[in-house]
Amino acid sequence: MNRGWLLIGALSAAIAVGLGAFGAHGLRGVLTPEMLAVFETGVRYQMYHALALVALGLAGSARVGRLANVAGGLFVVGSVCFSGSLYLLTLAGTKGIGLVTPLGGLLLLVGWLVLAVAALKAAPGRG
C-alpha cells in the first residue's frame, strides 16, 4: 500500500463530498443554474481523480511503479488546477482563473495516458 496516495485520495474525496453537499444545499438560489453546473463539474472531476488516487494507494508503490506515481502527481496537480479554478470561478467570480481550467484538464488527461503506459510496461505478475 502507498499511504501517500491513499491519504491524498481519501482527503480529496472527503473534500469533494463536502463541496458537493455545499453546492447542493448552500449554493442553490445563490448561483445561477449555469454556474451551479460549473461548480458541480469541479466536484465530479475532483471525485473521479480522488478515487484514482485511492486505487493507486491501494495498489502499492512496489506494484504500480514510477510511471504510475508520475500519473498520481499529475492527477493531484490537474485536480487542483481544474477543479480549483472552477471553484474560484463560481464562488469568487474570478474570471481570469478560467485560463487555468484547460491546463488542469490537460494534466488530468496526460495523467491517464501515463498510467496507461505504466500498465503496458508493468512486468508480468505485478498486477
pLDDT on residue 83: 98
pLDDT on residue 49: 98
With cell 491517464, the residue in question is: 112
Residue 29 has pLDDT above 60, yes or no: yes
- Model confidence at 86, pLDDT cuts 50, 70, 90, reads very high
Q: Which residues contact 44 (CB under 8 A, 6 or more apart)?
A: none
C-beta of residue 58 within 8 angstroms of C-beta of residue 10: no
**Residues 24-43: what's their mean pLDDT?**
96
Domain regions of the chain by residue span = 3-120
Query: Which pLDDT tens digit goes with each residue over 44-64?
Result: 999 999 999 999 999 875 666
**Residues 28-37: what's their mean pLDDT?**
95
Cα(35)–Cα(89) distance, integer angstroms: 9
pLDDT on residue 62: 62
Cα(96)–Cα(56) distance, integer angstroms: 33
